Amino acid sequence: MIVSYAVIGGILLNIGAYLTYKGKIYESVIIYLLADLCWIVMAYQKSDYMGVGFIIIGVVFGFLAFKKMQSGKMQKNLTKDEDDL
């Protein structure tokens, strides 16, 4: 049985979701980015260059969000205020 990049990416996605569930946000973002790298390789192997481009853009935005969280500049409250309506 050959394990594909899609399977590895899917396993990493599940691990990332579990870490998110446990509240380990920084670790889960790193795992999600690794899963994205697997999907970039998979799309490249299938000559899906548009897919590679979109995945890379998503990875860049994910990495920028991670850096913003890490620096403490991302302030988001999960409860909705009256002013948010």
- CB atoms under 10 Å from CB of 31, counted, come to 20
Q: Taking the domains of the chain in order of start, what are their residue ranges?
A: 5-72
Q: Are 18 and 52 in contact (CB under 8 A)?
A: no
Using one digit for the tens of pLDDT, what is the confidence trace for 33-76? 899 899 899 989 989 999 899 989 988 888 888 788 778 776 66
CA distances from 60 to 1, 9, 23, 33 (A): 33, 17, 23, 9
pLDDT for res 15: 95
pLDDT for 81 beyond 70: no
CA distance 84 to 39: 36
User: What's the count of helices (H) and strands (E) in the chain, helices before strands?
Assistant: 3, 0
The answer, as to whether pTM is greater than 0.85, is no
CA distance 19 to 37: 18
